[in-house]
Amino acid sequence: MVSWGVVSACTAFVVGPWSFSGLRLVLGIAEAGFFPGVLLYLTYWFPAEYRARMVSLFYVGVPISGFVGSPFSAVLLEMEGIAGLHGWQWLFIVQGLLPVFLGIAAFVALPDRPNDARFLRAEQRAWLSGKLLEEQRQIRVVRDERPWAVMFNAQVLLLALTYAGASAASNGLSIWQPQILKSFGLTNMQTGLLNSVPFAVASIAMIVWARYSDRRGNRVSTSILPLGLSVVALLGCVLTKGLWPAVFFLTLTLVGTYAFKAPFWALSSETLSAGATAAGLAMINAVGNLGGFVGTYLIGVLRDATGSYLVALSPILLLEAIGCVIILVLGGHQKRLAERARAGGVVA
């Protein structure tokens, strides 16, 4: 967090395409390990029946940042000329320094594992460590612990492809949604305020759905349903022509996309054995982010070709639909594995 905050703040002082591209490359390197690292960290602390809601509490920072960040960014852009800097430079500086401070605070405050947690009593540390150790002994679909074998395991690659669709939708809309809304003739401030609404609704839906997923315990159905909602909503975005229908369908798209992520990451972590978790989660996240990059790029290309931001969302719609099919297939495979394990008297 510290490194990417510094790099992000330095973006305020780029002077051309080479310095911009170089800083973006370094920023990607700095950010690469953060998300899979946090997911792995959560598996060290929370048993499976709590994992979706814990992932949602962490991940809800993304839509909340859209809700808070949109009007906040609009205010920063109005700081044109202060201290001789442009508004966009102030945006990078201020928003880049925030993760620096948070990264330092996290390093100081967060212990590595439950056994290191002084805020827990001895019996609490023992219970939690025992519970997590018991889960590690359960049979998982992906059991190979060799990093390269895990990364190119068919199950991992299919999960990665599924996440690529959701990532393309959330990343694409994070970047392009303000432009989509502004194309209806809104001002910068109107765009910033209206753009925050879908993220606010998605934040609430994400937490509520994650708690439902933990109570239900069926990661397959609680992953497919919100992803399917996103597909239907994206189709509505493609077909709509007015501002308020577009806002409605964009909101549903973000609700589905963000509600999908907590049960999906719980499903992914429950697919991987303890030794395969780090490499597997990293691979799923890496391919997913690549899908987000490609999806965002395609939106721009198709927007230039068709003149419509909404038509440009079509490839993401297709990728998310494929993801629904993949989860259904993987869910069936996991169910058969669990049934064989139970028939053999083994914990699944």
Which of 93-97, 111-115, 337-341 comes out lowest in average pLDDT? 337-341
In a domain, 28, yes or no: no
Q: How far apart are CA 232 and CA 256, in angstroms?
A: 9
In a domain, 14, yes or no: no
Domain CATH number, residue 93: 1.20.1250.20
pLDDT above 90 as % of the chain: 3
- 347: confidence class by pLDDT, cuts 50, 70, 90: very low
Per-residue pLDDT tens digits for 196-210 = 788 888 888 988 998
Q: How far apart are CA 124 and CA 126, in angstroms?
A: 5
Closest CA to 265 of 18, 10, 46: 46
Nearby residues of 235 by Cβ (< 8 Å), 6 or more positions away: 317
More confident residue, 236 or 346: 236
In a domain, 16, yes or no: no
pLDDT at 225: 92
- Is pLDDT at 141 greater than 70 in this prediction? no
pLDDT above 70 as % of the chain: 90
Per-residue pLDDT tens digits for 11-53 = 888 888 888 888 888 887 887 778 788 888 888 888 878 888 8
More confident residue, 339 or 219: 219
Which of 105-114, 172-181, 244-253 comes out lowest in average pLDDT? 172-181
Closest CA to 209 of 36, 53, 5: 53
Q: 236 phi and psi, to 5 degrees?
A: -60, -40
pLDDT at 226: 92
In a domain, 296, yes or no: yes
In a domain, 167, yes or no: yes
pLDDT at 14: 82
pLDDT at 185: 76
Q: How far apart are CA 73 and CA 95, in angstroms?
A: 9
In a domain, 84, yes or no: yes
Per-residue pLDDT tens digits for 259-268 = 998 889 888 8
Q: How far apart are CA 285 and CA 290, in angstroms?
A: 9
Count the domains in the chain.
1
The Cβ of residue 54 has, within 10 Å, a number of other Cβ atoms equal to 20
User: Which element (helix H / strand E) includes 119?
Assistant: none
| 3-state SS assignment for residue 206 | helix
Q: Which domain holds residue 232?
A: 33-343
- Is pLDDT at 6 greater than 70 in this prediction? yes
Closest CA to 348 of 284, 271, 280, 242: 271
In a domain, 101, yes or no: yes
Using a 10 angstrom Cβ sphere, with 0-12 exposed, 13-18 middle and 19 or more buried, the burial of residue 110 is exposed
In a domain, 88, yes or no: yes
- Is pLDDT at 345 greater than 60 in this prediction? no
3-state SS string for 129-150: HHHHHHHHCCCCCECCCCHHHH
- 348: confidence class by pLDDT, cuts 50, 70, 90: very low
More confident residue, 255 or 185: 255
Q: How far apart are CA 114 and CA 38, in angstroms?
A: 15
